[in-house]
Chains A and B, each alone.
Chain A
Amino acid sequence: MRILVAMSGGVDSSVVAGLLKSQGHDVIGVTMKLWEGPNGEMPETGCCTAADSEDARKVAAKLDIPYYVLDYTKSFSENVIDNFVDMYSQGLTPNPCVECNRSVKFDHFIDQAKKLNCEKVATGHYAKIVSNDDTFELHKADYLEKDQSYVLHMLTGDILSKIDFPLGTISKPEVRQIAASLGLKTAFKKDSQDICFVGKKDYRNFVSSRIDFSSGGNIVDKNNNVIGTHEGVHQFTVGQRKGIPGGQGQAKYVTKIDVENNKVFIGSKADLTTKKFIIEDVSFVNGEEYENLSIQTRYNSHDIPCKLKKIDDSIFEIELYEPTLGVAPGQFGVIYNDTKLIGGGRISSKILENINE
Chain B
Amino acid sequence: MKRNDYLYLDHAATTPMRDSAFEAFKNAEEFAFANSAGGHELSRRAKNLLEESRDFIASYFGAAPSEITFTSGGTEADNWVIKAPFIDTKKNQNLVTSKIEHEAVLASAEWLENQGHEVSFANCNKDGQVDIEDFLDNCNDNTSVASLMYANNETGVVQQIEKLAKEVKSKNSEILFHSDVVQAVSSEKLDFHKLGIDSAAVSGHKIGGPKGIGIMFLSSKYKLPNYFHGGKQELEKRAGTVNVSGVAGLAAALKEHQDNFESEKKKILQERQIFESEIKNALEAKIVGEKINRLCHISNIQFKNVNSETLMVALDLKGLGVSRGSACASGAQKPSHVLVAMNVPDVDINSHLRFSFGWNTIKGDGKHASEIVINTVREIL
Q: A276 vs B317: C-alpha distance in the bound complex, in angstroms? A: 53
Q: Which residue of B lies closest to A33 (CB)?
A: B332
Bitwise, A26-45 to B at CB < 8 A (1) or not (0) is 00100101000000111000
Assess the A70–B334 pair: CB atoms within 8 A: no
Q: Which residue of A lies closest to B318 (CB)?
A: A117
Contact partners of A31 in chain B: CB under 8 A: 330
Assess the A66–B317 pair: CB atoms within 8 A: yes
Tell me how far the C-beta of A148 lies from the nearest C-beta in chain B, rounded to whole angstroms.
25
Q: A136 vs B256: C-alpha distance in the bound complex, in angstroms? A: 63
Assess the A71–B334 pair: CB atoms within 8 A: yes
Report if A165 contacts B (CB, 8 A).
Answer: no
Assess the A50–B314 pair: CB atoms within 8 A: no
Report if B310 contacts A (CB, 8 A).
Answer: yes
Report if B93 contacts A (CB, 8 A).
Answer: no
Report if B52 contacts A (CB, 8 A).
Answer: no
Contact partners of B317 in chain A: CB under 8 A: 28, 66, 116-117
Which residue of B316, B332, B379 is within 8 Å of A69 (Cβ)?
B332
Report if A22 contacts B (CB, 8 A).
Answer: no
Assess the B314–A33 pair: CB atoms within 8 A: no
Report if B118 contacts A (CB, 8 A).
Answer: no
Assess the A42–B329 pair: CB atoms within 8 A: yes
Which residue of B328, B333, B334, B380 is within 8 Å of A115 (Cβ)?
B380
Assess the B379–A71 pair: CB atoms within 8 A: no
Tell me how far the C-beta of A54 lies from the nearest C-beta in chain B, rounded to whole angstroms.
8
Assess the B331–A69 pair: CB atoms within 8 A: yes
Contact partners of B331 in chain A: CB under 8 A: 53, 57, 68-69
Q: A31 vs B331: C-alpha distance in the bound complex, in angstroms? A: 10
Report if B309 contacts A (CB, 8 A).
Answer: yes
Q: A66 vs B318: C-alpha distance in the bound complex, in angstroms? A: 11
- Contacts between the two chains (Cβ within 8 Å), count: 44
Q: A22 vs B379: C-alpha distance in the bound complex, in angstroms? A: 28
Q: Chain A CB within 10 Å — which of B317, B328, B329, B331 has the most?
A: B331
Contact partners of A53 in chain B: CB under 8 A: 330-331
Q: A49 vs B309: C-alpha distance in the bound complex, in angstroms? A: 20
Tell me how far the C-beta of A258 lies from the nearest C-beta in chain B, rounded to whole angstroms.
40
Assess the A69–B310 pair: CB atoms within 8 A: no
Q: Which residue of A lies closest to B311 (CB)?
A: A115
Assess the A116–B314 pair: CB atoms within 8 A: yes
Report if A324 contacts B (CB, 8 A).
Answer: no
Q: A115 vs B331: C-alpha distance in the bound complex, in angstroms? A: 20
Q: Chain A CB within 10 Å — which of B310, B329, B332, B333 has the most?
A: B332
Q: A325 vs B317: C-alpha distance in the bound complex, in angstroms? A: 52
Q: Which residue of B lies closest to A53 (CB)?
A: B330
Tell me how far the C-beta of B97 lies from the nearest C-beta in chain A, rounded to whole angstroms.
19
Q: A115 vs B329: C-alpha distance in the bound complex, in angstroms? A: 26
Report if A112 contacts B (CB, 8 A).
Answer: yes
Q: Which residue of B lies closest to A41 (CB)?
A: B329
Which B305-334 residues sit within 8 Å CB-CB of chain A? 309-310, 313-314, 316-317, 328-334
Contact partners of B328 in chain A: CB under 8 A: 40-42
Q: Which residue of B lies closest to A111 (CB)?
A: B310
Bitwise, B338-381 to A at CB < 8 A (1) or not (0) is 00000000000000000000000000000000000000000110
Contact partners of A57 in chain B: CB under 8 A: 331
Assess the A66–B333 pair: CB atoms within 8 A: no
Tell me how far the C-beta of B80 lies from the nearest C-beta in chain A, rounded to whole angstroms.
23
How big is the B interface, by class? 10 to 19
Assess the B310–A116 pair: CB atoms within 8 A: yes
Q: A117 vs B379: C-alpha distance in the bound complex, in angstroms? A: 9
Q: A158 vs B379: C-alpha distance in the bound complex, in angstroms? A: 22
Assess the A50–B316 pair: CB atoms within 8 A: no
Q: Which residue of A lies closest to B329 (CB)?
A: A50
Assess the B329–A70 pair: CB atoms within 8 A: no
Assess the B313–A116 pair: CB atoms within 8 A: yes
Assess the A115–B330 pair: CB atoms within 8 A: no
Which A227-258 residues sit within 8 Å CB-CB of chain B? none
Q: Which residue of A lies closest to B350 (CB)?
A: A71
Contact partners of B313 in chain A: CB under 8 A: 68, 70, 116
Q: A50 vs B330: C-alpha distance in the bound complex, in angstroms? A: 6
Tell me how far the C-beta of A206 lies from the nearest C-beta in chain B, rounded to whole angstroms.
21
Tell me how far the C-beta of B218 lies from the nearest C-beta in chain A, rounded to whole angstroms.
31
Q: A31 vs B328: C-alpha distance in the bound complex, in angstroms? A: 14
Tell me how far the C-beta of B148 lies from the nearest C-beta in chain A, rounded to whole angstroms.
24
Q: A112 vs B316: C-alpha distance in the bound complex, in angstroms? A: 14
Q: Which residue of B lies closest to A52 (CB)?
A: B330
Contact partners of A28 in chain B: CB under 8 A: 317
Assess the A71–B316 pair: CB atoms within 8 A: no
Q: A42 vs B331: C-alpha distance in the bound complex, in angstroms? A: 10
A28-B317, A66-B317 are contacts. A115–B310 as well, Cβ < 8 Å? yes
Assess the B330–A42 pair: CB atoms within 8 A: yes
Tell me how far the C-beta of B203 lies from the nearest C-beta in chain A, rounded to whole angstroms.
24
Tell me how far the C-beta of A28 lies from the nearest C-beta in chain B, rounded to whole angstroms.
7
Bitwise, A44-85 to B at CB < 8 A (1) or not (0) is 000000100100010000000010111100000000000000
Contact partners of B334 in chain A: CB under 8 A: 40, 71
Assess the A71–B314 pair: CB atoms within 8 A: no
A116-B310, A116-B314, A116-B317 are contacts. A70–B332 as well, Cβ < 8 Å? yes
Assess the A66–B310 pair: CB atoms within 8 A: no
Which residue of A66, A69, A112 is within 8 Å of B330 (Cβ)?
A69
Q: Which residue of B lies closest to A42 (CB)?
A: B330
Q: Chain B CB within 10 Å — which of A28, A71, A112 has the most?
A: A71
Q: Which residue of B lies closest to A68 (CB)?
A: B313
Tell me how far the C-beta of B190 lies from the nearest C-beta in chain A, rounded to whole angstroms.
33
Q: A33 vs B309: C-alpha distance in the bound complex, in angstroms? A: 13
Q: Which residue of A lies closest to B331 (CB)?
A: A69
Assess the A70–B309 pair: CB atoms within 8 A: yes
Bitwise, B271-284 to A at CB < 8 A (1) or not (0) is 00000000000000
Q: A42 vs B379: C-alpha distance in the bound complex, in angstroms? A: 31
Which A249-297 residues sit within 8 Å CB-CB of chain B? none
Tell me how far the C-beta of B345 lies from the nearest C-beta in chain A, rounded to whole angstroms.
15
Contact partners of B316 in chain A: CB under 8 A: 66, 68
Q: A153 vs B310: C-alpha distance in the bound complex, in angstroms? A: 28
Q: A112 vs B309: C-alpha distance in the bound complex, in angstroms? A: 10
Tell me how far the C-beta of A105 lies from the nearest C-beta in chain B, rounded to whole angstroms.
16
Q: Assuming A33-B330, A115-B380, what are 9 further A-B pairs, CB within 8 angstroms?
A: A41-B329, A50-B330, A53-B331, A68-B331, A115-B310, A115-B314, A116-B310, A117-B317, A117-B379
List chain A positions with a Cβ less than 8 A from chain B.
28, 31, 33, 40-42, 50, 53, 57, 66, 68-71, 112, 115-117
List chain B positions with a Cβ less than 8 A from chain A.
309-310, 313-314, 316-317, 328-334, 379-380
What 6 A-B pairs come out closest when comparing CB atoms? A115-B380, A69-B332, A69-B331, A33-B332, A71-B332, A53-B330
8 A-B pairs with CB atoms under 8 Å apart are A31-B330, A50-B330, A66-B317, A71-B309, A112-B310, A115-B314, A115-B379, A116-B380
